[in-house]
Structures are given as C-alpha cells and as structure tokens.
C-alpha cells in the first residue's frame, strides 16, 4: 500500500465523523465475496466506518425498504477532467481552468451514480486531477475518493502526442519520453506533483491521429525504467494497451494493470495471470465511439480504428476470462458521457461474465487492484461506510446499477431517491 492509499483510507475516518451511530436496514444485502444474499439486512455505521457487533441502543435508524445493499462501486479507469463530445479540435479550445471545472462537475455526477472511489488515469498537464482529489478529500466539494495519474507518459508520435498538428501547436510536452533516463525524470517529476499512480501508453490508441493501436510504443528498457522508478517512489503503473505485443512487453516490465487489452492473446493472458497483472477492459468506450450519428464527434480516422478493433475484442476478453486474470471494472468515461459510468456492467455480462463476477470487478477486485482492500470493496466491519442500495435483484439484472437510488460515502448520505 502506498502512503497516499493509506491517507485515502484514513480520511474516511476523519471526514466521515458522525454525531450518532446509524443503523442501516434493507430487505437484502449482497456479500460480494461469496455471492450470498442476507435477508433481511442490517449494519451499523459510526465515524465513517462499518462497525462490528450490535449497535448501541441510542442509534438512529435509516430503513431503505425493499432494496439490496452493496458496497460503493469503484471505477478504475476514468477521465473526469475530459468532457465527452468535444471532438478533435474542440478539445484544443478548452483552457486548463475549464477542464478542472468540468472535473468538479463530473466528480459529483459519478459519486451520485454510486461510484464512491475512482482511479482517474490521464488528465492534462497542470495536475488539476491532484487538486480535485485533494479538494474532495478535504470535504470542500462532493466527489468519489480519487487516485490520480496526471498526464499519461507517451512516446513521440504515440497515443499521447498531438499527431497531425503543426509544431507551433505543441505546448507542454513533458509527458513525451524517448529514453529510460527521460522516463525516470518524468516519473520523479509526476511524483513531486503528487500523483498516486503512473499511467503509460504502451501502444497506440483509437482517439489519436496516425498511431497504430496494434503496435507497441516504448522499448523494453524504457518500460522497465518507468516501472522501476515508479516502484521506488511507492507507485504502481497502469498501461493503456490494445495490441498483444505491447500488452506483453508492459506485463513483462511489471505494470500493475493493462487498460483496454483489446487484442489480448491466450498466451499473453497466461503470462498476465502468472504475474498477477490485472485487466481493466473498458468495454463500452469502443462501442460508444461507433454509436449511430457519431454523438461524440469522433474524427473519421479514429472511427476507422474503432471499426477494426471492435470485432476482435470479444476474443481478447474471452482469453482474459479463460486465463482467470483478475478483471477490474473501468469505463474510460470522458470518451463517453460521465453519467453513464455504470454502462460497462451490461457489457461485461454480455461479453461472458456472470452478474456476480461483474459486481466483484467493481468492488472486491477493483479494491484489490488499488491496494485498498482493507478499506473499501466489501461491507465488512472496519471498512469505510461506502455503500449503495439498488432496486430489484442485481444478480439477475446488472442494469439496476444504471439507476442507483441510494448512495452513502464515508457514512454520509449522498443521494436518497424516494
């Protein structure tokens, strides 16, 4: 566990302080570890944590009625400071201040949708994501508990470069690294500015010009230098990767998670399994790029890449499932509208997960990926009082997560629909 994760955990004690103990009742509660449903369900909360043993006699009671209690949800791949639908040129018109305000609005929407912890993996150059994380942690503005990455590291001409634009439009390009020494310097710099995790582009991408999603980016010594330097600073590395060669090279270098993983082969999946590497699949993002009418104004070159990748994705996801890789929930919101943060549940199930596996990906497994399993991801005593209640049976219909009527974070009610 990094120091920052520890601080995030401790904050749930400091900020969730309640005057009186609170008993929460509902018709059912899902144990995400075992898949068993407890009915009726009751737990009690004080000082932002779920408490052991019987509740004191003077506790207040909050009865949520005919609903199912679950742990607060976790999204391991967001872009809160990137508004969807700007298209290629619209993004260049957005100032750093405007992007940060977008992040404030999106953080609240994501929390109200039931996501109480989020790993934000790639914001713009001014480390607004760090400021957003800290403002939420102080309790100044509402939002999920955040882990942030700052700008993703990329090679010249890679997914994070402004390919196709003339040199005078290139501004702060510090995140572009082309040698092991440069990589180490940037990782140290990002650590200085307060990020929790390092994000890299291990292959080309879809929403970028000219680069190839199938081709690896960094050289093996560059991958190694990034992971080694991040570890020395107590940070994990997550790697955007579509093509199998880049997934394998990033895995061999020791990244904590592969993001997207579209063209994952069975052999590379077995390597990930052997090394304990997580997959964060972000299934709906690619689908959303190809929605009829192109609502997100995606340029033609990116549409063509998405059309080529989409039919191959199911095989990659199946390879991950067959190998038994830990799969953590992640959406890539920012590519599509942040309010649809729960859209991936139905894709995870349609691509082959059981509803329980999909729920575990957004709770237990995600908490494990973030090394926060002692604080979040289950409703066990001692954990942060981050919880949601949903209508219907989530083990039968995961679309119930698309309209979460009750959200609590650190013992405070965030949303309670009638």
Residues binding Zn ion (CB under 5 A): 332
**Cα 225 from Cα 277, distance rounded (Å):** 18
The torsion region of residue 84 among left (phi > 0), alpha (psi -120 to 50) and beta comes to: beta
Q: Please tell me which residue in 199, 305, 409, 412 is annotated as part of the active site.
A: 199
Query: Could you give phi then psi for residue 275, rounded to 5 degrees?
Result: -100, 0
Beta strand 236-241 pairing with 37-38 = unpaired
**Cα 149 from Cα 122, distance rounded (Å):** 6
User: Residues 215, 216, 218, 221: is their CA dihedral positive or negative?
Assistant: negative
Nearer to Zn ion, 332 or 375 (CB): 332
Nearer to Zn ion, 259 or 375 (CB): 259
Q: Identify the DSSP state of 169.
A: G
- Concerning whether 199 is annotated as a catalytic residue, the answer is yes
State the minimum distance, in angstroms, from the CB of residue 232 to Zn ion. Answer: 25
Nearer to Zn ion, 133 or 159 (CB): 159
Nearer to Zn ion, 334 or 355 (CB): 334
The helix/strand/coil state of 400 is helix
State the minimum distance, in angstroms, from the CB of residue 336 to Zn ion. Answer: 11
CB-based burial, 176-207: b 16+ in 10 Å, e otherwise: bbeebeebbebbeebbeeebbbbbbbbbbbbb
State the minimum distance, in angstroms, from the CB of residue 205 to Zn ion. Answer: 8
Nearer to Zn ion, 196 or 332 (CB): 332
**Cα 377 from Cα 70, distance rounded (Å):** 9
State the minimum distance, in angstroms, from the CB of residue 390 to Zn ion. Answer: 26
Residue 350: CB atoms within 10 A of its CB come to: 12
State the minimum distance, in angstroms, from the CB of residue 203 to Zn ion. Answer: 13
CA-based nearest residue to 145, from 418, 417, 416, 407: 407
* Strand order from edge to edge, sheet including 22-26: 49-50, 41-46, 22-26, 60-63
Contact 218, 204 (CB under 8 A): no
Contact 403, 414 (CB under 8 A): no
Q: What is the 3-state secondary structure (H, E, C) of 229-242?
A: HHHHCCCEEEEEEC
CA-based nearest residue to 41, from 23, 59, 15, 18: 23
Q: Report the run of H or E that residue 44 belongs to, with start and end.
A: strand 41-46
Nearer to Zn ion, 229 or 332 (CB): 332
User: Residues 96, 126, 217, 318: is their CA dihedral positive or negative?
Assistant: negative
Nearer to Zn ion, 121 or 137 (CB): 121
Residue nearest to Zn ion as judged by C-beta position: 332
State the minimum distance, in angstroms, from the CB of residue 379 to Zn ion. Answer: 29
* Strand order from edge to edge, sheet including 115-120: 73-78, 115-120, 145-148
Tell me what percent of the chain is helix, strand and coil, each rounded to the nearest 5.
35, 20, 45
Nearer to Zn ion, 84 or 363 (CB): 84
Residue with tokens 């290139």: 170
Q: What number of CA atoms fall less than 13 Å from residue 154's CA on the CB side? A: 24
- Concerning whether 244 is annotated as a catalytic residue, the answer is no
Q: Please tell me which residue in 211, 332, 344, 375 is annotated as part of the active site.
A: 332
Q: Would you name the residues annotated as active-site residues? A: 199, 332
């Amino acid at each position: 566990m990094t120091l920052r994760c520890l601080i995030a955990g401790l904050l749930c004690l400091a900020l969730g302080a309640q005057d009186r103990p609170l008993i929460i009742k509902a018709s059912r509660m899902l144990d995400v570890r075992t898949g068993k449903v407890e009915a009726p369900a009751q737990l009690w909360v004080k000082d932002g944590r779920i408490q052991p043993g019987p509740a004191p006699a003077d506790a207040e009671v909050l009865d949520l009625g005919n609903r199912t209690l679950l742990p607060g949800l976790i999204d391991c791949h967001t872009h809160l400071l990137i508004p969807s639908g700007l298209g290629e040129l619209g993004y260049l018109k957005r100032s750093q201040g405007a992007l940060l305000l977008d992040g404030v609005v999106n953080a609240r929407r994501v929390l109200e949708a039931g996501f109480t912890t989020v790993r934000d993996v790639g914001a713009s150059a001014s480390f607004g994501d760090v400021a957003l994380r800290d403002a939420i942690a102080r309790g100044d503005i509402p939002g999920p508990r955040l882990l942030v990455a700052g700008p993703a590291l990329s090679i010249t001409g890679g997914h994070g470069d402004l390919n196709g634009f003339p040199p005078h439009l290139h501004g702060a390009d510090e995140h572009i690294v082309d040698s092991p020494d440069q990589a180490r310097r940037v990782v140290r710099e990002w650590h200085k500015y307060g990020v929790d995790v390092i994000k890299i582009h291990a292959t080309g991408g879809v929403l970028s010009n000219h680069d190839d999603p199938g081709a690896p980016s960094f050289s093996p010594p560059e991958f190694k230098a990034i992971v080694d330097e991040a570890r020395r600073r107590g940070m994990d590395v997550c790697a955007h990767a579509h093509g199998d060669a880049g997934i394998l090279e990033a895995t061999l270098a020791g990244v904590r998670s592969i993001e997207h993983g579209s063209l994952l082969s069975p052999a590379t999946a077995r390597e990930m399994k052997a090394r304990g590497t997580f997959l964060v699949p972000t299934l709906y993002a690619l689908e959303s790029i190809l929605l009829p009418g192109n609502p997100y104004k995606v340029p033609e070159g990116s549409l063509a890449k998405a059309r080529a990748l989409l039919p191959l994705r199911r095989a990659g996801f199946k390879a991950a499932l067959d190998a038994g890789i830990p799969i953590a929930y992640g959406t890539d919101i920012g590519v599509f509208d942040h309010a649809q943060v729960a859209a991936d549940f139905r894709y995870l199930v349609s691509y082959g997960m059981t509803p329980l596996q999909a729920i575990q990906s957004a709770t237990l497994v995600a908490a494990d990926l973030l090394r926060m399993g002692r604080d979040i991801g289950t409703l066990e005593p001692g954990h942060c009082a981050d919880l949601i209640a949903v209508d219907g049976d989530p083990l039968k219909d995961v679309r119930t997560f698309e309209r979460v009527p009750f959200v609590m974070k650190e013992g405070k009610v965030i949303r309670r629909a009638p």
